[in-house]
A and B are shown apart, each in its own frame.
Chain A
Amino acid sequence: MSTTPPAMLPATTPFHPVGPVVTAMPFVIGIGAAFALQAVLPGMVGPYYSRVIGDIGIAMILAVSLNIVNGMTGQFSIGHAGFMTIGGYAAGMITYYGSFFLWNGASVHGGFLGSGEWLFAVSCIVGGLVAALMGYVVGLPSLRLRGDYLAIVTLGFGEILRVVLQQTNKVLDDAEAIRTAGWSQWFPPPVGAAIGFAGIPKYTNLFWIYTFVTITVVVAYRLKQSSLGRAMISIREDEIAAQAMGVNIARQKVLAFVMAAFFAGVAGGLFAHEKGVIISPKDAGFQRSFDYVIMTVLGGRGSITGVMLAATILTALPELLRDFDQYRLIVFALLLIVMMLVRPQGLFGIHEIWHFGRKRR
């Protein structure tokens, strides 16, 4: 553990009127694009494809955020689905029980961008914060553990969460019961035990998914360019050298965990409110975490666009392979092995997509 606190560079850039505009630009463009997507796409391609595109967005948030821990900081977490699930449950509790208190029922309230959707957006962010808190707790052992041992602790976290979520109370499903519920019904939280949290109003749509994708990607990209991100990358490259250069390793690692967990929690909120999904304890298990680990490795270590591409491919591929029937997952597994063998550095390596037009350095 480092002995001296890191010397943060003072902000030396003078104020520039264009600054805030430039800062806000990617968000504006991204959210605008999400709006356009929501307006045009479902009518054009039908519910099935827009659902797959939505799933791709959620996978992107999860994979890009996991990439902060696994790709940039070089730690190895295989409990990402745990953060997603806890965020999803937290967000679901807010919208489900919140709807009862506000509107006396858990059905979808208000239209596109109506009051129900704003409650949902807030719940996703709260879900993210709850997950971030868990991320802090799970990140702490990373101060003591390295590499695979850390991976195993994160895996253990996901499995413990799965069992604990099975011990929760039944979902309370009418306004009267909710008002009169005593402590024993609120703790453990009434989120449906093994069957999952049924009844959450289904607010998720392409607009909200891609709005959060934009936020995640822009934050991850700016992080990568910032001194914080450079410090994280230095930990990945050589922990001891980084420490010698004055990087506070402990703080950076925990920070990476907290950030990744936050976005995973947001994605969990989106997941829990998606139509045709019941969030259940099973989601916290390690098998779903593997999906996102695969995406980060396939995308390339720390390459944000590479990971986004990998999330797209790996989410769409099983759907494309539907016609293979029972051979579907066999083909998927074979492709995975072959991709690893042929491109061990991932699709983009450490590069971003726009590095490819230029001459390789």
Chain B
Amino acid sequence: MNYPPTAFWRRSVVAICAGLWLTISCGGCNGTKADPTEIVIGHYGSMTGSEATFGASTDNGIKLAVEEINAAGGINGKKVRLITYDDKGDAREAGTAVTRLVTKDRVAAVLGEVASGLSLAGAPVCQENGVPMITPSSTNPKVTKVGDMIFRVCFIDPFQGSVCAKFARESEKLKASKAAILTDQASPYSVGLQEEFEKAFIALGGSVVSKQTYQAGDQDFSAQLTAIRSSEPDVIFVPGYYTDVGNIALQAKKLGLNTPLLGGDGWDSSKLGEIGGKALDGCFYSNHYSQQDPSERVQDFIKKYSAKHKETPDGLAALGYDAARILFEAMGRAKSLGGADLAAELAKTKDFDGVTGRISIDADRNAVKPAVILEMKNSQPEFVTTIQPGT
């Protein structure tokens, strides 16, 4: 059975092994010597695999913030160095990557993950080792309950769910009494938001007439939308990512379903209008900020990001950018870069002027910030209203 390998492959084995040996041995030599003139921070995210687009956006946002702070002379004279590790969107890899960041690379703080499930895997490691972790976009309430080292800069599901429900029920534009829901059942973000929306919507006197689900990876929603069509709702709540929403809107229009769609911050991307086009006109979503916000902070970010990455930033990039900047600000104020000092300063963050709104960290280490409601008009999101937290 010993089939002789071809000469081509034998030669390439030698070449690859030699190359590998060189790089691995070199990877060791510029290793992890502590450099007193720099601050090392870590980011773990899905840089490959099916969630790669979210991980890459976040990483781009963080990198932009790092470059800015270094160009401005660093934090108290120290340059910031970012180490990014890929977790393939896999919980085990996420845990390993965070362990490596925290115990081997000895980072001062960790940023990540987008997916709540993976943040929940990494957070206990950070908590146990006393290294602060800021998740840019994990919305599940459980994440920050892990401990006093875990922070976030995005909304939590209950807030956003109630914002959407309130808007659907009370705004002049919708005045909905019957809602249909279309959830991605494989995505904790989507499921979490759906539950909170449903609770709040029913509490406000509305009724949910149809609940349909899809799986991450489905491209065809006709069956679900056909079922929703027969239930004749006033609004369809779609707590998904923009990657699905565009298709959903197109297919809904094709079915002659003119009910407006309503969604959360997962919708935010310039690609949304590009995919959905006119089909999305008259649909609403809640978000952290409006890209048309004339404020310098927002426009400056959009300009810099587009120049660097040749595409307009999505919500995840903006959140990654804000997470990094809040961290840098706290680092600038902190007595030392030790975990406890840094966490204490992070907890004090108040009215931070971020791209994604004015951010304050509350006692549960969650971000408190207003939500904006945007309406799609001519494939562009337009500002409708701001909903303050606690109302």
A interface, CB within 8 angstroms of B:
46-48, 51-52, 55, 163, 166-167, 193-196, 198, 202, 271, 274-283, 318-326, 328-329, 331, 334-335, 338, 341-342, 344-345
Q: Pick the most buried of B23, B92, B98, B129: most chain A CB atoms within 10 A of its CB.
A: B92
A335 to B23, CA, bound (A): 15
By Cβ-Cβ distance, the 6 closest A-B pairs, closest first, are A276-B95, A195-B188, A323-B27, A48-B104, A47-B103, A276-B125
Q: Are B10 and A342 in contact (CB under 8 A)?
A: yes
Tell me the dominant secondary structure on chain B's binding face.
helix
Question: A194-B187, A338-B13 are contacts. A275–B103 as well, Cβ < 8 Å?
Answer: no
Give residues 13-46 of B contacting A (CB, 8 Å): 13, 16, 20, 23-24, 27
Stretch of B114-122, B170-178, B270-278, B374-382 that contacts chain A? B114-122
Proximity bits, B63-106, A CB within 8 Å = 1, else 0 = 00000000000000000000011101011111110111001100
Q: Are B12 and A338 in contact (CB under 8 A)?
A: yes
List B contacts of A52 (CB < 8 A): 96
Write 28 A-B pairs (CB below 8 A) sorted by A numbering: A46-B104, A51-B95, A163-B215, A166-B186, A194-B117, A195-B117, A195-B120, A195-B188, A196-B91, A202-B124, A275-B95, A276-B96, A277-B95, A277-B121, A278-B121, A282-B90, A283-B91, A322-B85, A322-B100, A324-B23, A325-B86, A326-B48, A331-B20, A338-B9, A338-B12, A341-B5, A345-B1, A345-B2
Q: Answer yes or no: B163 CB below 8 A from chain A CBs.
A: no
Q: Are B99 and A47 in contact (CB under 8 A)?
A: yes
List B contacts of A342 (CB < 8 A): 5, 9-10, 13
A163 to B27, CA, bound (A): 41
Question: How many pairs of A and B residues are in contact by the CB < 8 Å rule?
Answer: 121
Q: Answer yes or no: B258 CB below 8 A from chain A CBs.
A: no
Q: How far is the CB of A181 from chain B (nearest CB, A)?
A: 17
Chain A residue at smallest Cβ distance from B119? A278
Q: How far is the CB of A163 from chain B (nearest CB, A)?
A: 7
Q: Are A280 and B91 in contact (CB under 8 A)?
A: yes
List A contacts of B23 (CB < 8 A): 323-324
Q: Answer yes or no: B252 CB below 8 A from chain A CBs.
A: no
Q: Answer yes or no: B142 CB below 8 A from chain A CBs.
A: yes
Q: How far is the CB of B323 from chain A (nearest CB, A)?
A: 20
Proximity bits, B295-327, A CB within 8 Å = 1, else 0 = 000000000000000000000000000000000
Q: How far is the CB of B219 from chain A (nearest CB, A)?
A: 17
A46 to B16, CA, bound (A): 30
Q: Are B99 and A198 in contact (CB under 8 A)?
A: no
Q: Are B48 and A195 in contact (CB under 8 A)?
A: no
A46's partner among B103, B121, B128, B188 (CB-CB below 8 A) is B103
Which bracket fits the contact residues of B?
Answer: 35 or more
List A contacts of B121 (CB < 8 A): 276-278
Q: Are A55 and B100 in contact (CB under 8 A)?
A: no
A275's partner among B3, B86, B125, B142 (CB-CB below 8 A) is B125
Question: A46-B104, A195-B140, A279-B91 are contacts. A55–B185 as well, Cβ < 8 Å?
Answer: no
List A contacts of B10 (CB < 8 A): 342
A275 to B129, CA, bound (A): 12
A334 to B15, CA, bound (A): 12
List A contacts of B16 (CB < 8 A): 331, 334-335, 338
Q: Answer yes or no: B191 CB below 8 A from chain A CBs.
A: yes
Q: How far is the CB of A333 from chain B (nearest CB, A)?
A: 11
Q: How far is the CB of A328 from chain B (nearest CB, A)?
A: 7
List A contacts of B96 (CB < 8 A): 48, 51-52, 55, 276, 319
Q: Are B95 and A341 in contact (CB under 8 A)?
A: no
List A contacts of B95 (CB < 8 A): 51, 274-277
15 extra A-B contacts, CB within 8 A, seeds A276-B98, A319-B100: A46-B103, A48-B104, A52-B96, A55-B96, A163-B215, A195-B120, A275-B125, A276-B99, A277-B91, A277-B95, A281-B186, A323-B27, A325-B84, A329-B48, A344-B2
